[in-house]
Chains A and B, each alone.
Chain A
Amino acid sequence: MKGPRSRRAVAAAVFVVVTAVFAAQVLSASADETRSVDVAVVRLDDAGFPIGVTLNAFTRTYNDSGSTDKGDASTLELKDGLVSVNGEHRALPVVVRTHYFLDGTEVSASDIAGKSGDFKVEWDVTNRTQKTEKVTYTDSVTGKEKTVTAATMVPFTVELAGLSLPDASFDSLSSNGVVARNAANDASDLSWTSVLAPPVFPGTAVFTVEGKASNFKLPTTSIVATPGVSGALPKSASDAAEKGGAEAATVRGYIAQFGDGFAQLGGGLGLMKGGLDQIFSGINDKLKPGLSNTKFDKSLYAEDSTLAYNQPGLLEALNLLGDGLGQLIGGAAQIRAGLKSGDAANPGVTEGLNQVIGGIGQGNEFDGQGNPLTVRASLNALRVGISSGDMSAPGMVEGLQKISDAIGTGTEFNGSTPLTIRASINAVRAGLSSGSAQNPAIIEGLQTIYSSIGAGNEFNGTTPLTVAAGLAAVRGALSSGDMQNPKIIEGLQTIYGSIGNGTEFNGNVPVTLAASLAAVRAALSSGDPNNPKILEGLQKIYAGIGAGNEFNGTTPLTVRASLNAIRGALSTGSQVNPGIIEGVQQVVAGMAALKTGMTGFDSTFVASVQGQLGGILGALPLDVTQSAVIQGVLDAGITQFKAALDQMSAGLSSGDVNNPKVLEGLQKIYAGIGDGSEFNGQTPLTIMASMVAMRAGLSSGSQVTPGLIEGVQQIFAAVGTGAPSEIVNGVPQTIRAGLTAIRAGLSSGNAQNPKIIEGLQQIFAAIGTGSEFSNGIPVTLRASLNAIRAGLSSGNMNDPKIIEGLQKIYASLGLGNEFNGATPLTIQAALVALQQGVGQLKGGAQLAHDAIGTGAASEFGSDGSPLTIQAALTAIGSGLTQLNGGIAQIVTGLGDVDAKGKPVKSVTTRVSKFGNTIESPANLLYGLQSSQDAVLQKFVAGVAQIVDALGDPNVSAATILSGLKQISDGLGQAGTGAGSGASGADTLGHVVSASVASQDVATALHQAGLSRADQFLGLGSSSGDKHRTLFVFTQGGVG
């Protein structure tokens, strides 16, 4: 329970907040207006968890003379963290968690109470009012109105005030709130205020105070939470709360313009740079390297003059020309020396030519082993090797023809036997694929198998179209997994369960077939006469009927004995030892005799009486005068007596069986009981005969022609107990044994020894769904089929399985017409190409054969030109002879060199018109020497000056290329910058768009939250502008 001090503190807090609210309203209130404030006081434990809620409702009605206040308080139920309000659940909009730290370690309130040391107290106050609603806002980019269903939070202003920590207990205080000194200057007063309103404000405020404590005691605290945002907002928050993404959207527009401008600028700069780069490229890449290649490596050029990166410019070319001229001079000198040495052992050209002429020979120069000794003899041997003209002793041409024939065209068959490589390939190809599903080859067969296996979902209505679908159907038919919708397994399980083992009873009611049979059997016979069932009952009835002779003394023991006793009592057939019938007969006869005897009695009666009276002493005689009277009376009495006798006799016997009286009735009973022999055919005519018939029906005493008892005994035995003894040689002898056998056949309950159900379950499991794999190995039939199917085909030629592999093989075998240009794409195409190559080779060989020729006169054209090699060699021989003559003239024209290899000056002179003596070289060697001197000394220097003027573009200097490069680089940077600017503007525009959208939404959520604050019910039922709902969270303090 709250203590009085705590209550006082709460009341104070409530007073403050209610006063403040009403005070805010008072200026705007008018007469006859009612304003209300709900203050929910939430009592918290030391950690901040709620332990009680009280709702205080205050109303103020304004009038002309002021106002009237009313208040009411009610305690609300707090359960599972929720507050019950009018049968519904409400949640506290703000939660508080309080943490206590002593010397840096978090402790409980009870652990810090009274302690001394460095302390810290932290109140985490969290707005918990997140809830969704439809929020409408204007998109700052498009200007369109948008509506989203999004979460909002009711803004709350929370305040913890009035916490006063006395100097006597606290020192060195610091806080993230406001710390002030009290009026007496002996304590620090602390307060905190925060707005909890995501997304514009944080959702949680953390109020902290720390310092040093001595005997820690924390006073009661109250945190007041008011819906709405109090106080002036910072501009950033104000903008976020009101403008949303509008400003950002404006920025986005600028960015878009920037982007467009950048793009245009980039385009222009790109054009300029392109033009300049062409100029630069022309000079730097073509003109300058054309003038001079500074990286030119002369030795490398000498090694390989085709290297593109090492080509000489004009300058280097001139130097090369100079060098070349020098080499030419050297070469010419060597030519000169080589043309004629005058020494056969060290021959020059002239001497060599003579040797060549001999080496060419006439073609008939062979040694003793047939080896050719001259070129022409070799050519003759080669000619025969190229073509023999005899297929049985083939040369190259004949061999190539055989290869071509072996490749064939693909149509060469002897019956179905291929005779060529291509025919074999075509046979293999045909075996791989027919292209017709109706006449399948391997691939079509495998495709059919693949399709036939299927994925398991191929059905035409309910008819499975594939193996997998069939298995799926079988599996579906085998089990539904639902006993309410049974399939085979569930049906068999139901049958199995329905058969039972005979012990299944619900009370006395059997719930299985075996239990029913056990119950039937138990009802048929107990085997205990003292607890008879049907059989014992029938046996008792049979015995109870009896044979008629069962007596214990004179006491009959059976029905028939009783009937015999009754019959015997009814009639003995003897008048001496009469039964009832004979007795009655005798009574009737006696009554007749009595009547007869009474006939004479009436006429002698008076006289007889007088006579007897006279014999009696003292007796008075009858008055004879009255004898007539007496006689009359007597006569009347006798008459009545006789009538009575007649009546009695008539009652005892009528003498008419159709109008039976006692006697005839007894006789009928007697006859009706009978002696058991009275039958009309099979119909018993007496009770005894019925008893005989009944008894015979009950039991014949024979199992072959059974009566009722034998029948029941046979049923009883046929039902059996299901014991193992009732199964003979595996054949069940009773129904229960049969059911037990059926049941055992249905299920063993042991997967290792499966019966029908386990078998079907194993089949069901073995069929599977196709996804059952263990370490990649299929463990069910469908998984296996899927694995086979996956192995057969992937459907992806880049990940081929068997079918794709065979299709690739089939395709790679080809028809022979698959070429990409001249490149064969298939084996047959390669063979065709090979065949063509062989043909060409053969043609070439034939040409070579013919081209070698024999050198005969016929191998010269009409103009004398040779038509074959041998003819050419013949001509060469003649030409070489002529050449030798020409060489002698060349030697003279070349001139001579000195010992150092330098041409010996040989000139002709003339005097110019200016009076100068002009020398002209008189032979080639000296002329070349003059040219080299001019190139190296005059041309090279001029070109070097041009190259220097162009300069190096990578070296900043006053050169043409350096300047052009600077201009180009500048334009490039400008263009790149413009492109980056455009791209960046695009990216930035998108980012800003997202930011605009986020800000728009955030503002909308904040505004929606403010609207929620206006409509906020809290724990009450009122809202609107004349109502406020406040929460006061109180903690009783520590210490």
Chain B
Amino acid sequence: MSNRRRAAVAALTVVIALSGVACKGATHDNQQGDKARTTNESGAPAVALKTAVKDAKVGLIVSSAGPGADLKDMASGAYVAAFRLNDAKTGSDHVSLVVADDNGTPDGATNAVTSLVDQGVVGIVYASQGEQLLAGAATAAEKGVAVVYPYADDARIADQGATSYVAAPTIAQVAAKLAEHVKDAGKVALLRQAGAYGDAGKAALTAAGLSFVSDTPITATDAVPGKSIASANPDAVIVWADAATSLVAADALSTGGFGGEMLFGDRAAVPAFAHGIAGSLAPAVNDGALSAGSWAGPDLPTAAADAFYLAREQAISSGAVAADLSVADFRSHDAVLALVHAAEQKSDRASVLDGIKAVSTQSVAGTVGAPTDFSKQLAFGAQDVALLSYSNLNDGGGRYPTDATAGGHWIAVAGSYTPPAAVAGLDNPYGG
């Protein structure tokens, strides 16, 4: 050790000793002599959530077929919420979930809502999307039951039934966010799913100011002319389709030699899309593909998110929940909390329908995701819609799907949204 270096070490020792971190006589001793003691302090976030509600039934509708089927597994966030409201243990009786399947059809949706109402639910979390939700919303209005749609993008639901609340970005909001990103990109091509969803996407993108060098209706079973689209050298391609169709389109574009920016509609930002990518020998979508949706994702560094994932672990390990929670999602979790919050005063259907109008999830304990304000039927604010980037980066901490088998995930693009004041700075939480 040089003299200079030796002197520096000595000086530093003094500095550390004088600073708040150290105590007198601090040396680099072996710690063997320390008598460690188990601390009584805990920094763990609260998993159990207090509620005065007793024996309340909350309906959960999922879809085993149709576009809503891609959300079926994400809907298991509702189980995490029920587990937390039930004191994070088995045998508690605050809240029980009653699950119904709409089979992806209008008749199924009507039957599911009717069945849940007949079984006495106080409110319904409709964790699906697709045209059948309109029938469900109409039936819910007739039955006078509050329904929260944590994943639906169709604003028509609000028109269809006054008791329905859309708690996810609408097609118009998603389109506006994508358009905001590509408006200066140059040539933009559109591939849209044949049918109502694709038509609505095109209309919303056009309304958001975009025009397209080509507009190609696509399906999951027909060949997509990726080569001819790529040969026009668009700077960006927007694929507005469900997950399966988006994968077909992405494969065709990749095989056709398209090298520009790929953007996807909101229905691609689901686990099924990532599964498809992971299962492909030659993945057509890489890190950096874009979509739009809620800014709150698995990268959220808050204690509320920690609590959600801790609850997810405990729900499984305690045996309270047998469902597959691997892709359980904040939004269905938060939707259950909102309905139960509305039932705190009186847990009957009419009271919840009345009470939900005063609920803003910012004031609901345990809420993890972006805030929703149920004083409006379209409860998701435009400021909370973020550009999403597809990422295969897995920190290994258990929050993200296993990249090798389950695919990547979507992460909010910094600067593309405005975090609520309570978490200001959350879009740049690591200081660089």
Contacts and interface: CB of A to CB of B under 8 A. Distances in A.
Contacts of A218: 36
A82 B304 CA distance: 10
Choose among B22, B35, B431 the residue with the greatest number of A CB atoms under 10 Å from its CB: B431
Contact of A771 (B134, B283, B387): B134
Contacts of A8: 22-23, 25-26, 29, 34
Choose among B30, B138, B159 the residue with the greatest number of A CB atoms under 10 Å from its CB: B30
Nearest to B303: A81
Contact of B19 (A73, A131, A1019): A73
Interface in B7-25: 7-9, 11-23, 25
Contact of B135 (A26, A85, A154, A772): A772
Nearest to A111: B38
A867 to B, nearest CB: 69
Given A149-B288, A1016-B431, A1039-B36, A73 B110 contact: no
B56 to A, nearest CB: 27
Given A150-B391, A199-B393, A769-B138, A71 B19 contact: yes
A3 interface: yes
Interface in A158-197: 162-164, 166, 182, 187, 189, 196
Choose among A9, A74, A139 the residue with the greatest number of B CB atoms under 10 Å from its CB: A9
A742 interface: no
Nearest to B32: A164
Contact of A92 (B39, B301, B393, B426): B301
Question: Interface majority SS on B: helix, strand, loop or mixed?
Answer: loop
Given A80-B303, A90-B430, A45 B30 contact: no
B16 A71 contact: yes
Interface stretch (B93-101, B169-177, B253-261, B344-352): B253-261
A144 interface: yes
Interface stretch (B200-208, B237-245, B353-361, B407-415): B407-415
Interface string A109-144: 110010000000000101111111101000100101
A1020 B286 CA distance: 34
A151 B303 contact: no
A1016 B430 contact: yes
B395 A130 contact: yes
B11 A67 contact: yes
Contacts of B16: 11, 14-15, 18, 56, 58, 71
Nearest to A1036: B39
Interface in A967-1025: 987, 990-991, 993-995, 997-998, 1001-1002, 1005, 1012, 1015-1020, 1023
Interface in A30-67: 39, 41, 44-47, 49-51, 54, 56, 58, 60, 66-67
Interface stretch (B40-48, B63-71, B321-329): B40-48
A113 B38 contact: yes
A938 interface: no
Contact of B138 (A71, A771, A1020): A771
Interface stretch (A455-463, A684-692, A729-737, A773-781): A773-781
Interface string B389-415: 111111111000000000000011110
Given A164-B30, A219-B34, A1017-B432, A149 B20 contact: no
A649 interface: no
Contacts of A70: 15
A765 B19 CA distance: 75
A166 B30 CA distance: 11
A151 B20 CA distance: 36
Contacts of B22: 7-8, 10-11, 14-15
B413 A149 contact: yes
Contacts of B316: none
Contacts of B395: 126-128, 130, 153, 196, 198, 203-204
Contacts of B11: 60, 66-69
B282 A128 contact: no
Contact of A82 (B43, B142, B301, B394): B301
A148 B391 CA distance: 11
A1038 interface: yes
Contacts of A93: 430
Contacts of B36: 5, 217-220, 1036-1039
Interface string B366-399: 0000000000000000000001011111111100
Contacts of B37: 3, 1036-1037, 1039
B135 A773 contact: yes
A204 B396 contact: yes
Interface in A73-94: 73-75, 78, 80-82, 85, 87-93
Interface string B413-432: 11000000001111011111
A144 B31 contact: no
Contact of B38 (A146, A196, A1039): A1039
Given A128-B395, A130-B299, A89 B28 contact: no
A613 interface: no
Interface in B153-181: 159-160, 162
A16 interface: yes
B302 interface: yes
A9 to B, nearest CB: 5
B106 interface: yes
B12 A18 contact: yes
Contacts of B223: none
Contacts of A73: 19-21
A131 B430 contact: yes
A994 to B, nearest CB: 4
B27 interface: yes
A814 B8 CA distance: 107
B129 to A, nearest CB: 16
A596 B190 CA distance: 132
Given A113-B38, A128-B397, A66 B7 contact: yes
A988 B162 CA distance: 55
Given A149-B389, A771-B106, A4 B283 contact: no
Interface string A431-463: 000000000000000000000000000000000
B283 A994 contact: yes
Nearest to A23: B5
A33 to B, nearest CB: 13
B42 A45 contact: yes
A78 B303 CA distance: 10
Contacts of B413: 132, 149
Contacts of B110: 772-774
A799 interface: no
Contact of A19 (B12, B39, B107, B290): B12
B425 A133 contact: no
Given A90-B430, A199-B392, A1005-B287, A219 B31 contact: yes
A72 B22 CA distance: 11
A12 B21 contact: no
Nearest to B1: A23
B284 interface: yes
A18 to B, nearest CB: 6
A9 B425 CA distance: 33
Interface of B: 4-5, 7-9, 11-23, 25-32, 34-39, 41-45, 106-107, 110-111, 134-135, 138-139, 142, 159-160, 162, 254-255, 259, 261, 280-284, 286-288, 290, 299, 301-306, 387, 389-397, 411-414, 423-426, 428-432
Give the 8 A-B residue pairs with the shortest CB-CB distance, closest first.
A1037-B36, A73-B20, A148-B288, A204-B396, A1017-B431, A81-B303, A88-B425, A49-B43
23 contacts: A7-B23, A8-B22, A11-B22, A11-B23, A12-B26, A12-B27, A15-B13, A41-B21, A49-B43, A51-B39, A69-B14, A71-B16, A73-B19, A131-B430, A150-B391, A151-B391, A163-B31, A203-B396, A768-B138, A772-B139, A987-B281, A991-B282, A1016-B430
Given A3-B37, A69-B8, A71-B18, 13 more contacts: A12-B27, A18-B12, A26-B8, A51-B43, A71-B16, A71-B19, A89-B426, A110-B38, A768-B138, A775-B107, A994-B283, A1020-B431, A1039-B36
